[in-house]
Amino acid sequence: MISFVLTLKRLLSGLFHVFHHKRFRVLFVVTLFMLLSGTIFYTREEGLPILDALYFCIATLSTSGHPTFVPQTPFGKIFTMLYIVVGTGLFMGLMSYIAYGVVKSSQREDEEEREQRNGGTKSTVRRKRQDGSDAEADS
């Protein structure tokens, strides 16, 4: 249970960090629109209950798939093929931004912890590399 809570904290911290990026917010809204449109389509065209339709959309976009549902109508099959091609890329882009946020958030926490151990001052020193570019090193 503790592991779950710590993982959830890391995820929420990463989401908070990445929500500052405009591209993430746009991708988030477009992905929500895809989920909403898919849910409406499968509810009306295939006769699924709303929760089942949303579950199918999330399972499809996350590439895990739904074990028992297969669209029955020709229009439903065509829609599902397009939905998979377009939606999977959006969903993977969203997941990569969230992963980026989790990594950056963890790095920030590590830096804050390091600063606290060093008495509250940032202990980085700038050095010139052999190629002339700057490099930061912890002292």
Measuring CA to CA, how many Å separate 64 from each of 31, 57, 88, 120?
17, 10, 11, 46
**Confidence at residue 107, expressed as pLDDT on a 0 to 100 scale:** 81
Residue 16 · residue 97 · CB < 8 Å: no
Q: What is the pLDDT of residue 106?
A: 79
Mean pLDDT by 10 residues, the chain (139 residues): 85 82 89 94 93 91 79 90 90 89 82 77 53 51
pLDDT at 135 (0 to 100): 52
Output the pLDDT for position 129: 52
What is the C-alpha separation between 102 and 28, in angstroms, rounded? Answer: 16
SS3 55: helix
Q: Where are the alpha helices (DSSP H) in the chain?
A: 2-18, 22-45, 50-61, 74-117
pLDDT attached to residue 139: 45
Name the residue with tokens 């989401």.
15
Asked whether the whole model's pTM tops 0.85, one would answer no
